[in-house]
């Protein structure tokens, strides 16, 4: 079927379900969105959630913009934007008025599952020392840390993967794997992962990425801050901004990807 979010062809793929079996989801790599038929979202197992991480992160590309009026792939009715709350996280999705299912972006899905958390004011302040430009994890638009604390285009907050929530998901997947006799993630891997995902690890990764970009550009001199009409310093940035969730996913798969095929 075509993705309701952007009308690109979406791939139907099987993911592990709670209590065994598989559920088919329509995954769109163009706009980073997923179509869940009615009741499919709560049915994903922890391993299924991790499979979806691997799928979305592994095939990520520049994002196609979402349509203003999305239509239900089953009945063609216009999907209605719905705001919801799960574990203190606000998230949104687009649902069919006749309950055929819903479309959600991968970022909003992570919000729903409580796997990402917003940055604290202190972390935001610290982040500004390491990066000027970020890429919105939801729409892919630029976020200038000098002016913005959320995406100016889609209003998504700045989020990082929550190491605790990732640890819990890994743990759940491990327990379920123990029942079916699948390969287990050693506990040390989960610990290592949690350390990597802490803010310090993020800042090291950000700095490393900035250095790499600077080397790739032939070590140009650091850009001189200029002033705009409001008297605010602007630093011209050569590279596109960093997506904090992508950075976290890189860390996740650098750890779990190295221990064999876990999921
Ligand atoms: Zn799409
Ligand atoms: Zn429908
Ligand atoms: Zn955005």
Smallest CA-to-CA distance from 24 within 44, 4, 5 is with 44
The predicted model gives 164-174 an average pLDDT of 79
One domain, residues 7 and 89: yes
pLDDT of residue 25: 94
One domain, residues 62 and 88: yes
State which of 91, 114, 137 marks the end of a domain: 114
One domain, residues 5 and 88: yes
Q: CB atoms < 10 A from the CB of 188, how many? A: 10
Q: Quote the CA–CA distance of 73 and 52 in Å, as a whole number.
A: 21
Q: How far is the CA of 108 from the centre of ligand 3 (A)?
A: 11
The rounded percent of the chain whose pLDDT value lies above 90 is: 36
The predicted model gives 77-98 an average pLDDT of 92
Q: How far is the CA of 147 from the centre of ligand 3 (A)?
A: 15
pLDDT tier for residue 97 given thresholds of 50, 70 and 90: very high
pLDDT of residue 110: 93
| For residue 202, pLDDT beyond 80 | no
Do 24 and 36 touch, CB atoms closer than 8 A? no
The predicted model gives 172-195 an average pLDDT of 61
One domain, residues 160 and 261: yes
One domain, residues 103 and 153: no
Looking up tokens 């976290």, which residue turns up? Answer: 248
Crossing angle of the two packed helices 187-197 and 244-256, in degrees rounded to 10? 160
One domain, residues 106 and 131: no
Q: How far is the CA of 27 from the centre of ligand 2 (A)?
A: 17
What residues flank ion ligand 3 with Cβ within 5 A? 136, 138-139, 141, 151, 153-154, 156
Parallel/antiparallel/unpaired status of strands 116-118 and 101-105: unpaired
The predicted model gives 95-118 an average pLDDT of 93
One domain, residues 201 and 94: no
State which of 88, 114, 140 marks the end of a domain: 114
Show the domain range for 182. Answer: 119-263
Ligand nearest to the CA of 141: 3
What contacts 180, CB < 8 A, 6 or more positions away?
none
| For residue 7, pLDDT beyond 70 | yes
One domain, residues 227 and 252: yes
State which of 70, 85, 114 marks the end of a domain: 114
One domain, residues 24 and 38: yes
Ligand nearest to the CA of 65: 1
Domain count, the chain: 2
Per 3-state DSSP, the chain is made up of helix, strand and coil in percentages (nearest 5) of 35, 25, 40
Which span out of 104-108, 145-149, 190-194 was modeled with the highest average pLDDT?
104-108
DSSP conformational letter for 210: H
């Amino acid at each position: 079927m075509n993705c309701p979010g952007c009308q690109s062809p979406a791939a139907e793929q099987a993911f592990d379900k709670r209590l065994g079996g598989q559920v088919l989801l329509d995954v769109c790599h163009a706009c980073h969105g997923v179509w869940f038929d009615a009741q499919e979202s709560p049915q994903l197992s922890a391993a299924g959630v991790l499979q979806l991480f691997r799928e979305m992160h592994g095939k990520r590309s520049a994002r196609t913009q979402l349509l203003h009026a999305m239509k239900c792939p089953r009945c063609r009715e216009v999907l209605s934007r719905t705001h919801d709350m799960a574990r203190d996280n606000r998230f949104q999705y687009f649902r069919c008025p006749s309950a055929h299912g819903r479309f959600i972006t991968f970022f909003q899905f992570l919000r729903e599952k409580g796997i990402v958390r917003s940055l604290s004011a202190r972390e935001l302040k610290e982040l500004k020392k390491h990066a000027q430009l970020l890429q919105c994890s939801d729409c892919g638009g630029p976020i200038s840390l000098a002016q913005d604390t959320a995406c100016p285009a889609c209003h998504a907050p700045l989020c990082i993967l929550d190491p605790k929530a990732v640890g819990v998901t890994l743990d759940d997947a491990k327990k379920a794997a123990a029942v079916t006799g699948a390969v287990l993630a050693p506990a040390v891997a989960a610990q290592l992962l949690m350390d990597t995902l802490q803010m310090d690890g993020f800042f090291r990764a950000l700095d490393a990425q900035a250095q790499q970009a600077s080397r790739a550009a032939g070590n140009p001199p650091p850009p001189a801050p200029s002033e705009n009409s409001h008297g605010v310093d602007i630093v011209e940035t050569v590279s596109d901004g960093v997506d904090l969730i992508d950075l976290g996913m890189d860390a996740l798969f650098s750890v779990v990807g190295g221990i064999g095929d876990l999921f």
